[in-house]
Structure 1
Amino acid sequence: MNRLLTTLILAGSASLAQADMATRAVDYHIDGEVFQGLLVYDDSVTAPRPGLLMVPNWMGVTENAAKKAWRAAGSDYVVFIADMYGRHIRPADAAQAGAAAGAVKGDTELMRTRVNAALEVFRQEAAELLDTSRMGAIGFCFGGTSVLELARSGTALSSVVSFHGNLDTGLPAQPGAVKSPVLVLHGADDPYVPPQQVADFEAEMRNAGTDDWQLLSFGGAVHSFTDPTANLPGQAMYDARVADRAFRQMRLFFAETMALPVPDTSR
């Protein structure tokens, strides 16, 4: 696989405002098409760290996605933000994002191919930074859906966490397929993930023969509760309290599944 590696150190960027945050853009190919993901990590840490593949929301690889990766990872993890659309598709608004995300979500095999390819690129391109025995995946909204497909595809990771992602799928997990512990962080009042979809997901996990899954519903929360830009009351709305709780649950889950020290969950 031919890849062009571009290094972008944004530690001094006022817009990102993080002294130790570094990013590195990574070009890669899937079936002849060029994609560009983004590594996010603390470049002051020299020891290998666990890795988190992150699939962002439907806006794709953006500065906001990098900020969210930094919030999730800090100095404890290396994050690779996967490109699910292709390097030349960067949605400018919700309409373009909906079209791009819909094209991928509507083809479950394509979604699984792209998210698994991004994971392999991550392992190769960040090998010097990673403790590859501790690898997880996180996703937000469309990205939450994507990492659940990663788990359904049979990829074995230390853990997979979905934040306010859709739970339906075109290819339900087959018995024995799910090999990764799964945590779903869900808004109890999310209108895009109705109770029947939640019930169907629970039945799917049981039918898949795995008991290492959790679904945590946050009362009063709707879609996009971790996204500070979400502002559609009753539909997609940021909730700072729920976001803090969700990130704490993620860190505790990783500590358990990756055999890490119990983290300071106050941040």
Structure 2
Amino acid sequence: MTIRRRTLVHDGPGGPFEGVFAWDDGTDVARPAVLVIPNVLGQKEADNRKAEDLAALGYAAFACDLFGQGKRTQRGEGSSRYMDELNADRTLLRERLRATLAACAAQPEVDAGRIAAIGFCFGGKCVLDMARAGLPIRGGVSLHGVYDRPDYDSVAPITVPLLVCHGWDDPLAPPDALVALGQELTAADADWQIHAYGHAGHGFTDRALTAAGSGFGYDEGADRRSWAALCAFVQEVFEK
């Protein structure tokens, strides 16, 4: 097994966009793929490494870019500026997600009929929006995501199976927001499951997020358990 990566630049509304595609070049057979959707900071090396982890499991993976080529931020003041623009225009976000999915599907290593999506923080919201918009993914995983609904009507029913991995102490998604999401997905007749991790907060998979204050930060147990749940879920949706 040799895991490779290449830069993938593609068009879309407000683009171009630049991400990293990872795959095992030990086989030339088209395989299922997983979109890896970044957090508030945008596309970065941590996302590329997650794509490589998925490639090591036999999938192709695309650590994608929704902000635009060269648009990245660092923690601190102004870190959310590109995310804020998309939160204010969820229709634009939906169309960027559509273009990203198409770019992934066009890669020769990818079985275009079997693509799933995972996302972290803002990326978790993006995964939920893909399901709400009826974009053709086989399944979606939100990790310490944000659950507010978009300002357009969701499809009904929602046919994308969803796994939500949630830190119970996350101040950006308090228990009432989690319950509202469950009610939303139930009303939409979705196939959904929620894994809530006690004493974990926002960003529990982010190894760079330490000493971040109450309700935020890396949690080894929640990271390990959510990865195991994610792997089992992705395998299941691709076997259907």
Q: What range is the shorter-chain TM-score in? A: over 0.9
Aligned to 1:62: 44
* Structure 2 residue 209 is matched with structure 1 residue 197: no
Q: Which has the higher contact order (CA 8 A, sep 6+)?
A: 2
In structure 2, distance between residues paired with 1:56 and 1:118:
13
Q: Percent identity?
A: 31
Q: Cα–Cα, structure 1 residues 195 and 32, in superposed 2: closer, same or farther, change >3 Å?
A: closer
3-state SS in 2 of match to 1:33? coil
CA drift of 1:142 comes to 0.8
Alpha-carbon shift at residue 33 of structure 1 (Å): 2.7
CA contact (8 A) 2:13 2:95 kept: no
Instruction: Write the mapping of 1:79-94 to structure 2, written as runs, cut at 5 A.
Output: 79-94=61-76
Give CA-to-partner distance per residue, 1:70-109, whole Å, 9 cap, x none: 2344241111122111103121334333111111122111
Determine the structure 2 residue equivalent to 1:10: none
Do the aligned residues in 1 keep the contact of 2:43 with 2:65 (CA within 8 Å)? yes
1:67 & 1:234 partners in 2: Cα distance? 27
Q: Is the 8 A contact 1:175 1:207 kept in 2?
A: no
Partner of 2:204: 225
Alpha-carbon offset, residue 42 of structure 1: 2.2
Distance 1:250 1:173 in 2: 28
- Are residues 1:101 and 2:83 paired? yes
Choose from 3, 12, 19 the match for 1:37: 19
Aligned to 1:123: 105
Q: CA RMSD in A?
A: 1.9
DSSP 3-state at the match of 1:256: helix
Q: After TM superposition, give the deviation of residue 133 of structure 1 in Å.
A: 2.9
- Pairing partner for 2:232 from 244, 252, 255: 252
Residue 135 of structure 2: aligned partner: 155
In structure 2, stretches of 5+ residues that fail to align are none
SS of residue matched to 2:227: helix
- 2:16 aligns to what SS in structure 1? strand
Distance in 2 of aligned mates of 1:21 and 1:95: 36
- Structure 1 89/107 Cα, relative in aligned 2: closer, same or farther at 3 Å? same
SS of 2:80's equivalent in the other structure is: helix
Quick check: 2:34–2:54 contact (8 Å CA) kept in 1? no
When residues 119 and 91 of structure 1 are mapped into structure 2, their CA distance, relative to the original with a 3 A threshold, is: same
Determine if contact 1:152/1:172 at 8 Å carries over to the other structure: no
> Which has the higher mean CA deviation after the structures are superposed, 213-222 or 62-71?
62-71
Unaligned runs of 5+ in 1: 1-18, 261-267
Query: Contact 1:41/1:75 (CA < 8 Å) preserved in 2?
Result: no
CA distance 1:104–1:219, change in 2 (3 Å): same
SS class of match (1:222): coil
**Per-residue deviation, 1:57:** 1.1
Aligned to 2:167: 187
Change (3 A) 1:73 1:171: farther
Q: Provide the residue aligned with 1:111 in structure 2.
A: 93
**Following TM superposition, by how much is the alpha carbon of 1:32 offset from its aligned partner in structure 2, in angstroms?**
5.6
Consecutive aligned runs of 4 or more in structure 1 exceeding 4 Å deviation: none
- The question of whether the paired residues in 1 share the 8 Å contact of 2:91 and 2:152 is answered with no
CA-CA distance at 1:172 after TM superposition: 6.7
TM-score, structure 2 as length reference: 0.92
The 3-state SS of whatever aligns with 2:11 is: strand
Contact (CA 8 Å) 1:42, 1:74: kept in 2 or not?
yes
Aligned length: 239
